[in-house]
Structure 1
Amino acid sequence: MNLPAPRQQPQATPAGQPMPQYPFVVQPTAGDVQLYGERQPVVYVPSAENPNVMVGVLKQHVQPMQPIAARDLTPQPLIDVQAQRLVAAGIGGGVLLWGGGQFLNGVAHVVASFSGVGVFMLCLAAVAARAAFRPGSRAVGGTYNHNEIHVEQKWFGKSGFNIHNN
């Protein structure tokens, strides 16, 4: 049976050899030493050239934001008041004109009734009124006629009648 050769890691320390000693303090190559506690806080703001890129700036160089005024949260009308008045005036004017048209339609029917059959009916009413109040009629005192007709029905479709005039 052939086993693969053990893999060697290039930077591994072979067993039994001491680890190389690294210095614990890294000396800066140039410039002043800045300790962690002495660092200034950095804030990120949008860049002036490209607002999609954030740029780190020391906090001491950034101006504080002005507080935003509170918003007015009172409910506003759904439709403008002046628009409501205009719509109401348009609807009211339309209803007024519709009612005026209905009135004129009724007047036209009255005028049309005076022609043709309407005039005939008016003349009949005038003749009937004149006949009711002429002298010798029953309304003013005059002759009164009373007629009676008696009809008797009999079997097999036979009938008989009597006329009485008083």
Structure 2
Amino acid sequence: MSKNVFKEIVTGFASLLTGMRITLTQFFKPPVTVNYPRESLKMPKRYRGHITFVRDADSGKSLCIACKSCEKACPSDCIIVEGVKREGEKKKSVTEFKLDFTKCSLCGSCVEVCPVDALDYSKHYNLASTSKERFNVIDLVRDLEERGK
């Protein structure tokens, strides 16, 4: 019986030393917390926020041709696309692109299926609001115009 007690004491002391070693190594590492309202995290290049339009470098408008591929590929059925063919243009232009962010699963199917690479992921991560209506319908056409100003 004394052999088991001695073995438990040695095992317990060894685990205590292991725990203290881990605690001391973590104690001297720099903190990883961010002082949020005054500082913000730098998002990695591969971060995938909600979708947004890519701006055409020449015209400043969206590259979207309103082909509705993204609408068809969306498993959450949260995208509505409308477009018209304007006089003098070769392709359709998007007039309405609405995203119901409350239903979006951020799967990326719409970005992958776009034939003209008009959609990309945004880098916005702190989308906070007290009302659901703010995220109910995000108008990407209006969002692109506001970003252009």
User: TM-score band (shorter)?
Assistant: under 0.3
- Per chain length, whose mean CA-contact separation is higher, i.e. which structure has more relative contact order (CA < 8 Å, sep 6+)? 2
TM-score where L is the length of structure 1: 0.25
